[in-house]
């Protein structure tokens, strides 16, 4: 008995230290005067709006990426941040292990492609802006359709079904003639808007406007998500993550709120997909590898699931690190080729120091044991 | 010893009217010949009793007698194999768990089951949310309903934390509370759902005599506010001290029912508890 009790205790202290460290930072933040918080927040936002300008980032030392256009990288990173914020609702708050989140991104991107591109069979050629709300709505619908049968199940089933969903979308993209496979959709229109001299604001060469657009939407989405998490909805989500049975018995309509978590997460992914398609001009089946789902999940866990700031930082860092590896050679091999080894390592380290990161599995396991104790031993 | 002298006083007062009027009183919960099997195990065997509005009913019995299973059947976790349970005249079976809660039944757990990574306040707010209507749209757009319910829920939660005596700890994570505080928090969370019937599953487990006495006081106060209480308890003395009537289970069967004094002297009950050391006796 004592040997089994010892190791968890030691781990507890390491975890506690980390928790307390984060708590201390959060504490200082929450106890800072209101104006200090606003000034800091404003400074961070201004920094990120300024970041894609060469006049600014050239002074930032090693931060700009050597192997890729830095503003392009920033756009990619911003899309990942948006995705991490969305997945964090599902995994971090509601505790639902969604392994196929990127599938919703694909639904968003393909909706835009099919309805706007001249290569589409539909030939609707609608403008981008009109299609964005349609893409979001369709992604939400696909989230509800996937969630309705599966969210009644618990734990591992959901992980499997979502994994299957993303793979299904990918295979449909590869092999269906309607979705054009590798050939893809070209000439997807850009977002509207012109400079004073008539040049389009959202052009082909300059990635900055797209990045600014995504950054602005991230801010709006974060405000929205915060409104949700600081309300009955967020409490319901967290209570489901913490103990689904107890939540039901305290009057939480758990199925309804799980579905909402799924639908909100999907909507954000759909928005990200629509933004991606609008920038990329071209969408084909190669954009939607399964690995992307795993990367976003890793980002959410890395940042500390159930924490909006954590998801932003996690998504940003993970996506940035991947790009930062480009163009750096180690023993003659580009470090970029090692990127997934790096993720494996990060995940292993996270599991050691922040095992509560993967809350759904671990807590469910512990809960299951508790329940058996309660019903079977009666003590 | 002083509490043993006090305790007969309370049921004596309550017992006198209870005997005459119990039949005329409004039944709140009817457990109607319920049998519940788990494979070969008969956890409940034709259990039949009625709980009347305003009383404190004790559900006692040795370990494994089926008390927790009875709660689980009442709150919709298990469906009875035979028989049925009616709450406020409506059948429980087929109802969702959160609907049963909204009908006015709330419970605590033998193994504490709080939301560990939520604060004490938030735990109680979840309970208060049982009757709230705010959903994604009102929360997202911060509509007036959100603000109104948020304010009400918060006030109610603070009031209940004060009532169970842990208001000072309201911003603490539930997992950081002491054992006794967690038990109290469970009661506050259950009360926040505005129950007509509060089911407490061994709420005093692991308490010392002083803490038990405080809990007794709390249970009486809850009843005095018009909440009917169903109390599972091992400690016979505690049960005698606070309940109006007692139902005794053994091996899933009801072996006795009646006033505390009757039950205590019932030879079957004595036999069931015989050999169970002082903790339970
Ligand atoms: N889910 C279950 N599966 C199998 N047996 C169970 C289950 N739940 C309870 N039991 C059995 O039912 C009996 C009553 O258990 P319980 O209601 O927990 O007793 P008590 O709460 O009175 O101590 C025990 O024999 C227990 O093993
Ligand atoms: Mg029990």
- Residue found by looking up tokens 């006083």 in the block: B9
Tokens, residue A68: 């890729």
- Nearest Cα of chain B lies from the Cα of A134 at a distance, in angstroms, of 19
Q: Where are the domains positioned within chain B?
A: 25-104+197-204+224-273, 115-194
What backbone phi and psi angles, to 5 degrees, belong to B31? Answer: -95, 105
Q: Which CATH architecture has domain B25-104+197-204+224-273?
A: 3-Layer(aba) Sandwich (3.40)
Which of B45, B105, B96, B40 has its CA nearest to residue B70?
B45
Nearest C-alpha neighbor of B270 from the set B255, B253, B258, B259: B255
According to the model, what pLDDT value does residue A47 have?
93
| pLDDT tens sequence across A188-199 | 888 888 888 888
User: In 3D, which of B280, B277, B256, B252 has the Cα closest to residue B266?
Assistant: B256
What is the rounded CA–CA span in Å between residue A132 and residue A323?
27
Q: Under an 8 A CB cutoff, do B146 and A231 touch?
A: yes
Mean pLDDT, each 10-residue run in order, chain B (281 residues): 39 42 75 92 93 94 92 92 93 92 95 94 96 94 96 97 95 93 96 96 91 92 94 84 92 92 86 59 41
| B255 phi, psi to nearest 5 deg | -105, -15
What are the structure tokens assigned to B247, written together? 């139902």
Q: Which two tokens stand for residue A151?
A: 């969210």
Number of residues that this document lists for chain B: 281
Query: What does the pLDDT read at residue B219?
Result: 94
ipTM greater than cut 0.90: no
Q: For testing the chain A interface, which of B72, B110, B117 should be mutated: the one with the most A CBs within 10 Å? A: B117
How much is the pTM?
0.86
Q: Measured from the CB, is residue B61 less than 6 Å from ligand 1?
A: yes
Q: Which residues of B214-243 are buried (b: 16+ CB within 10 A; e: fewer)?
A: bbbebbbebbeeebbbbbbbbbbbbbbbbb
Residues of B in contact with A242 (CB under 8 A): 114-118
CA A127, CA A109: separation in Å to the nearest integer?
Answer: 14
Check: CB of residue B35 under 8 Å from CB of residue B46.
Answer: yes
CB A223 within 8 A of CB A61: no
Helix/strand/coil percent split, chain A, to 5: 75, 0, 25
The crossing angle, in degrees rounded to 10, of helices A101-116 and A291-303 is 130
Would you call B129 and A232 a contact, using CB atoms and an 8 Å cutoff?
A: yes
Q: Could you tell me if B155 and B128 are in contact, meaning their C-beta atoms sit under 8 angstroms apart?
A: no
**Residue A236 tokens, joined:** 């319901």
Chain A to chain B, count of Cβ pairs less than 8 Å apart? Answer: 116
Q: Does B145 touch chain A (CB under 8 A)?
A: no
Domains, chain A, ranges and CATH? Answer: 31-52+67-362 (1.10.3470)
CA distance A268 to B31: 48
With a cut of 50, list the residues of chain A below it in pLDDT. 1-10, 357-379
- The verdict on B251 touching A (C-beta cutoff 8 Å) is no
| A232 within 8 A of B134, measured Cβ to Cβ | yes
């Amino acid at each position: 008995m004592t040997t089994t009790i010892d190791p968890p205790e030691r781990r507890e202290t390491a975890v506690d230290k980390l928790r307390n460290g984060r708590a201390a930072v959060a504490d200082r933040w929450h106890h800072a005067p209101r104006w200090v918080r606003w000034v800091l927040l404003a400074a961070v936002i201004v920094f990120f709006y300024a970041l894609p300008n060469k006049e600014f980032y050239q002074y930032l030392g090693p931060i700009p990426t050597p192997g890729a256009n830095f503003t392009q990288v920033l756009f990619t990173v911003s899309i990942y941040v948006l995705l991490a914020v969305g997945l964090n609702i599902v995994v971090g708050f509601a505790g639902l292990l969604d392994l196929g989140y990127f599938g919703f991104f694909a639904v968003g991107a393909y909706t835009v492609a099919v309805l706007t591109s001249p290569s589409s069979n539909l030939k609707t050629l609608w403008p981008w802006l009109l299609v964005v709300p349609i893409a979001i709505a369709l992604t939400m619908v696909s989230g509800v359709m996937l969630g309705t049968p599966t969210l009644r199940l618990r734990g591992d089933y959901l992980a499997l079904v979502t994994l299957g969903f993303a793979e299904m979308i990918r295979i449909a993209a590869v092999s269906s003639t309607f979705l054009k496979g590798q050939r893809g959709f070209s000439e997807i229109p850009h977002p509207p808007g012109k400079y004073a001299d008539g040049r389009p604001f959202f052009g082909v060469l300059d990635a900055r406007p797209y990045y600014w657009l995504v950054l602005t939407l991230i801010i709006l989405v974060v405000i929205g998500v915060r409104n949700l998490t600081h309300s009955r909805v967020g409490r319901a989500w967290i209570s489901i993550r913490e103990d689904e049975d107890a939540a039901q018995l305290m009057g939480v309509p758990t199925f309804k709120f799980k579905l909402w978590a799924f639908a909100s997460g999907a909507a954000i992914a759909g928005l990200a997909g629509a933004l991606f398609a609008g920038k990329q001009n071209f969408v084909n089946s190669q954009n939607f590898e399964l690995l992307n789902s795993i990367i976003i999940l890793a980002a959410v866990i890395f940042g500390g699931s159930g924490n909006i700031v954590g998801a932003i930082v996690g998504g940003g860092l993970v996506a940035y690190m991947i790009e930062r590896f480009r163009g750096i050679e180690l023993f003659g091999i580009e470090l970029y080729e090692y990127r997934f080894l790096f993720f494996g390592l990060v995940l292993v380290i996270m599991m050691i120091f922040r095992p509560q990161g993967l809350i759904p599995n671990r807590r469910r396991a512990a809960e299951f044991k508790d329940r058996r104790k309660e019903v079977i031993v009666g003590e | 010893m002083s509490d043993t002298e006090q305790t007969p006083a309370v049921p004596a007062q309550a017992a006198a009217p209870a005997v005459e009027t119990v039949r005329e009183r409004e039944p709140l919960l009817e457990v109607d010949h319920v049998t519940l099997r788990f494979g070969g195990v008969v956890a409940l065997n034709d259990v039949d009793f009625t709980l009347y509005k305003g009383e404190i009913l004790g559900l006692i019995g040795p370990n494994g007698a089926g008390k927790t299973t009875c709660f689980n059947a009442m709150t919709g976790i298990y469906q009875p194999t035979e028989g049925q349970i009616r709450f406020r005249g409506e059948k429980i079976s087929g109802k969702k768990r959160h609907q049963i809660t909204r009908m006015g039944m709330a419970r605590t757990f033998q193994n504490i089951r709080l939301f560990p990574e939520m604060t004490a306040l938030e735990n109680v707010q979840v309970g208060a949310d049982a009757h709230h209507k705010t959903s994604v749209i009102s929360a997202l757009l911060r509509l007036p309903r959100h603000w109104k319910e948020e304010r009400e829920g918060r006030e109610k939660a603070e009031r209940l934390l004060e009532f169970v005596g842990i208001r000072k700890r309201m911003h603490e994570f539930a997992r950081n509370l002491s054992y006794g505080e967690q038990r109290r928090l469970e009661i506050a969370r259950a009360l926040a759902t505005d129950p007509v019937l509060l089911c407490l599953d061994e709420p005093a487990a692991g308490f010392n005599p002083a803490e038990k006495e405080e809990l007794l006081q709390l249970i009486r106060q809850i009843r005095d506010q018009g909440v009917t209480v169903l109390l599972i308890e091992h400690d016979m003395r505690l049960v005698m001290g606070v309940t109006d009537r007692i139902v005794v289970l053994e091996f899933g069967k009801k072996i006795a029912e009646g006033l505390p004094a009757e039950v205590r002297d019932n030879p079957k009950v004595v036999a069931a508890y015989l050999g169970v050391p002082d903790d339970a006796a």
